[in-house]
Amino acid sequence: MATTDEIQQAVESFFLLFNGVIVFLMSCGYTLIESGGVRSQNAGHSLFKTLLIFITSALAYWVTGYAFAFGGTPNVILGTRFWVSEKFGSRVDNQAGYPGVENFTNSNNVYNLNNQDPYIHFFYHYMLTFLVTNIAASAFAERCQVIVYVLFSILMSGFIYPFLAHWMWGSNGWLGDVVGARDYGGSAIIYLTAGVAALIGTIFLGPRFGRFEPRALPLFGHSIPITSVGAILVAFGFFVLNSGADHRITGVAYGDRVGHGLINTVLSGAASGATYYILQRLIESVKQPARHLKRRVFLSTVNSIIAGMVAVAGGAVAYNPWSAIVIGFIAALSFLLWSKLLLKFHVDDPVETAAVHIGGGLWGIFAVPIFRRTIGAGVNGGYEENALSIIYRITMGESWRGLLNSLCTAAVVMAWTAIFITILFLVLKLVRLLKVSRDEELRGIDLFQHGEPAYALRIYCAACGEQLQGKTIEHETIGTRPNFPAIVTDAEGAIVPIEYFSDRNGSSGNINGTKIKSMNEENRV
């Protein structure tokens, strides 16, 4: 007959295991959003990027990352045990083999990680590491060399993110334990970190050819259905990640917080998506831009929904539903502001990764001390008055201190991430390992760097400017500047020099009504 503690261990361990699996699917969803949001000749590169990050981040997190974040005998800066899982899970030395996790974020230290298995704890937090790294790398799409993804993944998974996780969620971590900051679901630690890394990398990579020069030209993604499936998986991940921020479900108070997390995530995402869509349509009705210069409303609306879920993540389990609506509304404004700002400074982020996660994450960490409920969960699973907030305790000075804690958290996350990502990309740029050549970028990274396109060559050729199935191809000459070739653009926004579409015998492609032949004319399926 199983005891109560054994039943609780089984329930809590399965809860964390299930959450970790869903977070993995969430990472896959981000990959699909990226793959559908880029041009078809580069879709395979985005998929391969995720595979590389999965491999390298797993090894880096196993070697150093988990030890830094949750290693045994920790101090305020880092953990000091479990390198390459040495003595991991040992049940000697007074339970010293269990990871160091503080009670106020995701553990009940009466039961040692809520009685969860330490290996499941490792699995779950590796999935968060994989998520952070994969989100950030999506901003580098269509122009980044493979080696960049490998080195970026090792640095993020083995060093940058684990330190931030320890400072907020690890035992004795200085942000959570000393300063008193709170980030239950990772608005700052997960998403703001990813957004800042994405922004720094995108700045160093520079824009894709044809995006801003000689004139601004949107480069549309090739597949709304793929983006839609990705958005569904990401939303599914947010439901689990935000509602499971306590890592516990047993006890009436923890069950209540799981329910609040689910409802608040739905409401914040919906409010943010609706607000953005209405605002964008109003802006377009006033400015009336040309059809080919309109924003990608579908992808941007998806991103606004994600921004709302990012913003509410910091305290989804601790908000009342009406608060989630307000948070989602402001998240949409924040996302729209960051998106416009980055475009103004010619920062080319193919799927708006930086705008989504900086806009949502930065606002989300400040929303926690403003809107969180004062009633929380105690170590025995019951309710207790254990928090202060500005909305519910506006006259108490301690409530306002939370804003300073959030400011400290945001500043630390942004500075820590920016410093090391800047160093990495600066070195890669100096040794010329950062960006693919313009020739490869224009012709498609899939075929000319990986040797295998994501789609059949017939479809691939269509994305590279060939007349196929009635698709209209525009010919455009870039002024009289000698360093800009004549180009063709298709409805997807793919841009390629027209000389690449000569036939096999060397005759020039004819753009005056005759078919432009592809280099792969003989190989079409």
Answer whether 187's CB lies under 8 Å from 409's CB: no
Instruction: Note the pLDDT of residue 512.
Output: 44
The total of other beta-carbon atoms located within 10 Å of residue 521's CB is 16
Residue 34 lies in a domain: yes
Instruction: Note the pLDDT of residue 140.
Output: 95
Within 314-396, where are the H helices? Answer: 321-344, 353-371
Residue 486 lies in a domain: no
Q: Is 369 helix (H, G, I), strand (E, B) or coil?
A: helix
CATH number at residue 81: 1.10.3430.10
Residue 522 lies in a domain: no
Q: Is 351 helix (H, G, I), strand (E, B) or coil?
A: coil
Helix axes 353-371, 321-344, angle to 10 degrees: 150
Residue 249 lies in a domain: yes
In terms of phi and psi (left: phi > 0; alpha: psi -120 to 50; beta: otherwise), the region of 13 is alpha
Residue 131 lies in a domain: yes
Residue 97 lies in a domain: no
* Domain tally, the chain: 1
Enclosing domain of residue 361: 8-92+113-439
Sign of CA dihedral 206, 210, 214, 215: negative
- Long-range contacts for 13-16 (Cβ within 8 Å, ≥24 apart)? 13/115, 13/116, 13/117, 13/120, 15/244, 15/247, 15/248, 15/249, 16/116, 16/120, 16/121, 16/124, 16/244, 16/247
List per-block mean pLDDT (blocks of 10 residues) for the chain, which spans 525 residues: 76 90 97 93 92 97 94 84 79 56 42 63 94 97 94 97 94 88 94 98 92 75 92 96 88 89 97 94 80 71 96 94 97 96 93 96 96 80 79 80 94 98 97 90 82 69 41 39 42 42 42 40 35
Angle at 455 between CA 454 and CA 456, to 5 degrees: 140
DSSP code of residue 521: G
Q: Is 455 helix (H, G, I), strand (E, B) or coil?
A: coil
Instruction: Note the pLDDT of residue 442.
Output: 77
The total of other beta-carbon atoms located within 10 Å of residue 498's CB is 20
Instruction: Note the pLDDT of residue 346.
Output: 92
Instruction: Note the pLDDT of residue 227.
Output: 94
Residue 108 lies in a domain: no
Residue 188 lies in a domain: yes
